[in-house]
Amino acid sequence: MKKAAFFDVDNTLVRGNVSILYAKLYRKIGMIPLRSMLRISYLAFLHKMNFLTYEKLAKTMLSFLKGMDVKTEKDRVKQNFGIVRERIYTDIEKELRKKKKSGYSIILLTNAIGRLIEPLAEHLGADNVISSRLDEKDGKLTGEVMDICYGENKKLLLAKYCKKNKISIKDSYFYSDSSSDLPTLKYIGHPVAVNPDRKLRRYAKEHRWDILD
């Protein structure tokens, strides 16, 4: 069977949240009203404090994309990839490239929307992206989030991908910073905590997982 190295994106490969980086850009160029941006920031805070589920946060945060032309949005994301590229963690990029050189398939596994991650995947030479998706209709974005890649569902999406592509879960790696990814980290053969939050660091130490700071 094949082996893979799965990498979370937000605060694992990239410093910060990619979705919020693009939201700030869209605010700057006038695509998001100030009131909506303030609401996004407030909801992100509620989620961080565990008062709001990620599913509700994602649906609200990405609703501003409703009605946008799919191709136009894809081109805009690619043209502004610099706001993400400058925040890539150098050490984790080196780790990713080392794994690729060793024969691992490189998969970005993220709760971000796939179209926001595609330029990053291309830059890193990743083989695939598993992510949340935005629904489309008649070439336009509906604003509805599909297959949210978060928590337990992230593990299910990884398992489905491994089965379809004949990848050994036992021989594969998953790199993440967040305790929200514990279901997937516990499931994979080689879990690696990257700049972990307090809960994940404690769990990783107790179970003698590798930790990268």
**Across residues 176-201, what is the average pLDDT?**
97
CA dist., res. 55 & res. 49, Å (int): 15
Whichever domain contains 202, its CATH number is 3.40.50.1000
CA dist., res. 17 & res. 112, Å (int): 8
- Between 49-58, 152-161, 178-187, the lowest mean confidence (pLDDT) is in 49-58
How far does CA 194 lie from the centroid of its chain?
A: 14
Distances (CA, A) of 187 to 5, 12, 22, 152: 13, 18, 31, 10
Provide the phi-psi class of 98: left if phi over 0, else alpha when psi is between -120 and 50, else beta. Answer: alpha
Residues 104-141: pLDDT tens digits?
999 999 998 888 999 999 999 999 999 998 888 888 88
| Domain that residue 57 falls in | 4-212
CA dist., res. 107 & res. 128, Å (int): 5
Domain count, the chain: 1
Task: Please name the residue that has the structure tokens 């990239």.
Answer: 14
